[in-house]
Amino acid sequence: MSRRTYLRTIFYCGSRLIQRAAFGALVIVLSVLLELAGFQQGVGLKAREMMIRGAVVNESGYPVANTPVRLIAQRVEENLQAPTPAILDKKVIETRTDSKGLYEIVALIDSYYNRYVLSFYSENQFDSIVYTIPPEEDISSAVFKEGTAEITVNRTLTYNPQWPEIKARIEELGANSDQGRILRLRGVPDKVENFTVQKGKQGELWWYYSKGFCYRFLQGRLDKLFNFTPMNPPREEWKQAI
C-alpha cells in the first residue's frame, strides 16, 4: 500500500468515527430536548400543572368545613351499546375543606386521562345525615382549554329532607345520649321495634337494614349492637317513627 493510499484510508476511517460520534451526540441532545419539551414515549404531551379551588357552603350560606373534595382523572372509552362510557383507568386526588369551607387542589393534568371530574362526596367521609349526596361535576372542557391554569368550582350542599326531623329528635333525646348519638351517626332507622323484658324494662330495636346494623336499647341506653350483611328493608312499609 502506498503512503498516499494509507493516508486516505486513515482519513476515511477517522471521518467515519467522527460522524458516528457526532450522530450519537446528536441523538442524546435530541432526546434531552424532547424530554424537556414534554414528549415521552407512549404518554404524549407532558403533564401540566393546574390549580382547582373553590368554596363549599350549605343552603343557609354557611361554610361547610372538613367535607371531602375529590379530583378524579379518568381514561374513558365510549361504547354505543352501554349507557355510560367505560372507565379504563383512573386516579384520585382528595382534599378537605378548611374551617372557612375553602379548598384547593394542585394537580398535574395528564393528557393520558381524557375526562376530569370533581366530586364533593367520599364514602364514610361525607355527612349524608345532614346533606344530600351532590352529583359529580365534569370539568374536562375547562381542564383541557388552552391557556387555563386555574379553575374555580363552588358548590352549595342541599339539606337532607329528613334532617329537620332528625335534628328535632336529637334535641329531644339529648345530643350526648346514646339514642341521640346513634341518630346523628346513622340517621332515621328503617324500622323500630318495641319490646319489654323482665322486670318491666322497656326496650327498642333500631334496624338499619341497608347499613347492616341493629341497635338494642334498654331504658334508652345502648345495650347491644348487632352486625349483619346489608340488605334491602322488608317489603312491608314500616312507618318511620322514633
Select the highest-mean-pLDDT range: 15-24, 76-85, 112-121. 112-121
Q: Give me the helix-helix angle, 163-173 and 178-186, nearest 10°.
A: 170
The mean per-residue pLDDT over the stretch 210-220 comes to 94
- For the chain, the domains span 1-37, 48-157, 163-227
The mean per-residue pLDDT over the stretch 75-88 comes to 86
Q: Percentage of the chain surpassing pLDDT 70?
A: 77
The Cα–Cα gap between 130 and 185 comes to 10
The mean per-residue pLDDT over the stretch 108-130 comes to 93
Topology of the domain covering 48-157: Immunoglobulin-like (2.60.40)
For 63-77, 81-95, 203-217, which range has the lowest pLDDT when averaged over its residues? 81-95
Chain-centroid distance of CA 14 in Å reads 62
Q: Which residues contact 119 (CB under 8 A, 6 or more apart)?
A: 68, 69, 70, 71, 72, 136, 137
Asked if the model's pLDDT at residue 192 lies above 90, the reply is yes
Q: How many residues in the chain?
A: 242
The Cα–Cα gap between 166 and 188 comes to 7
pLDDT for 17 equals 47
For the chain, give the mean pLDDT. Answer: 83
The mean per-residue pLDDT over the stretch 44-54 comes to 78
Q: Which residues contact 109 (CB under 8 A, 6 or more apart)?
A: 47, 48, 49, 50, 73, 116, 143, 144
Q: Give the residue among 179, 136, 182 at the shortest CA–CA distance from 155.
A: 136
Strand, helix or coil for residue 126 = coil
pLDDT for 46 equals 53
Asked if the model's pLDDT at residue 183 lies above 80, the reply is yes
For 65-74, 88-97, 136-145, 191-200, which range has the lowest pLDDT when averaged over its residues? 191-200
pLDDT for 137 equals 96
CB of 76 closer than 8 Å to CB of 85: yes
The mean per-residue pLDDT over the stretch 138-167 comes to 92
At residue 25 the predicted structure's pLDDT band, cuts being 50, 70 and 90, is low
Q: Please name the amino acid found at residue 100.
A: K
DSSP letter assigned to residue 129? T
